Amino acid sequence: MPASNDDLSLRTVDVTRYVTPLREGGSLPALVEADDGFLYVLKFRGAGQGLKALIAELLVGELARVLGLRVPELVLCQLDEAFGRTEPDEEIQDLLRFSTGLNLGLHYLSQASTYDPLVTTIEPHLASQVVWLDAFTLNVDRTARNTNLLMWHRELWLIDHGAALYVHHTGPGWADNPRRAFPQIKDHVLLAQATELAAVDADCQARLTPEVLRALVALVPDDWLREPDLSPAEQREQYVQFLAARLAASETFVQEADHARQARV
């Protein structure tokens, strides 16, 4: 069933404890505890990829949820400036200081394991859903080398979407070519199993209505929309128009993905 706009919301929590850095991530995410008592993997606004990585993480994670895929709960995490004062590691201290304010957290899936394509085979419909999402959002970071997929309670969970929508890093006019090719889909870790792309495309079209796309983009905090020559509302409109136009031309990236899959066989 298509998502209701009433379902599209994010909680805000206050970070109360910095637990440990997670150094396997290039942006130095960390495990933190919040005032709701839960642990989160915190993605910092002060990391090298900046606020646009948080925007991509939020938008693609919530797009996945609307499509029925499993994603850890995303929350907005308020980080107080006091956190950087007592941290002995200078690199982490700087990261905390530059990340005062709203950051993004993913609910921590305790004891989850990294998806291994040599161990677990994903059924075609689910694989097709994930490939469709990543082609739609230009996600370059779901390869065999770095799957950004977890197995938790024998179910597949999607994480780490900060590298998606990479075109928004390219400056003014980034949204002007929504039909752009995405040759990187050939490296997708689930491409070989994605044999139901046409059926999945129809379902995704039904779920991602214009109202849903606009409600998703509305979740992005004003504070993350910092293009100097555009208001937050104008920047949101760029995302809405880019996603809507790319969705309207989905046959382009569906065919591209299908051709790449067949070339593998």
pLDDT at 5: 56
Burial of 155: CB neighbours in 10 Å, binned 0-12, 13-18, 19+: exposed
pLDDT at 1: 40
Per-residue pLDDT averaged across 90-112, rounded? 93
| Entry pTM | 0.94
Task: Give the separation between CA 97 and CA 85, rounded to whole angstroms.
Answer: 8
Of these ranges, 13-27, 72-86, 237-251, the one predicted with the greatest mean pLDDT is 237-251
Residue 24 has pLDDT above 50, yes or no: yes
Residue 250 has pLDDT above 80, yes or no: yes
Per-residue pLDDT averaged across 39-60, rounded? 95
Q: How many Cβ atoms sit within 10 Å of the Cβ of residue 263?
A: 9
Beta strands in the chain (DSSP E): 11-21, 30-34, 39-43, 74-79, 101-107, 113-114, 149-152, 155-158
pLDDT at 26: 59
Confidence of residue 3 (pLDDT cuts 50, 70, 90): very low
Residue 2 has pLDDT above 90, yes or no: no
Q: Which residues have C-beta within 8 Å of that of residue 62, sequence separation ≥ 6?
A: 8, 71, 74, 216, 219
Confidence of residue 27 (pLDDT cuts 50, 70, 90): low
Q: Which residue has the higher pLDDT, 27 or 169?
A: 169
Per-residue pLDDT averaged across 35-40, rounded? 98
Task: Give the separation between CA 54 and CA 231, rounded to whole angstroms.
Answer: 18
pLDDT at 90: 84
- Please tell me whether residue 48 adopts helix, strand or coil conformation: coil
Per-residue pLDDT averaged across 115-129, rounded? 96
pLDDT at 23: 67
Residue 48 has pLDDT above 90, yes or no: no
Confidence of residue 8 (pLDDT cuts 50, 70, 90): confident
**Can you give 65-95 as a three-state secondary structure string?**
HHCCCCCCCEEEEEECHHHHCCCCCHHHHHH
Lowest mean pLDDT among 4-13, 104-113, 213-222, 225-234: 4-13
Q: Longest Cα pair distance anywhere in the chain, in angstroms?
A: 55
Element (H, E) at 199: helix 197-207
Nearest partner of 71 among 58, 87, 83, judged by Cα: 58
Q: How many Cβ atoms sit within 10 Å of the Cβ of residue 189?
A: 22
Residue 146 has pLDDT above 90, yes or no: yes
pLDDT at 85: 72
Per-residue pLDDT averaged across 226-245, rounded? 97
Average predicted confidence (pLDDT) for the chain: 93
pLDDT at 25: 55
Cα 18 to chain centroid distance, Å, stands at 23
Where residue 155 falls (left for φ over 0; alpha for ψ -120 to 50; beta otherwise) is beta
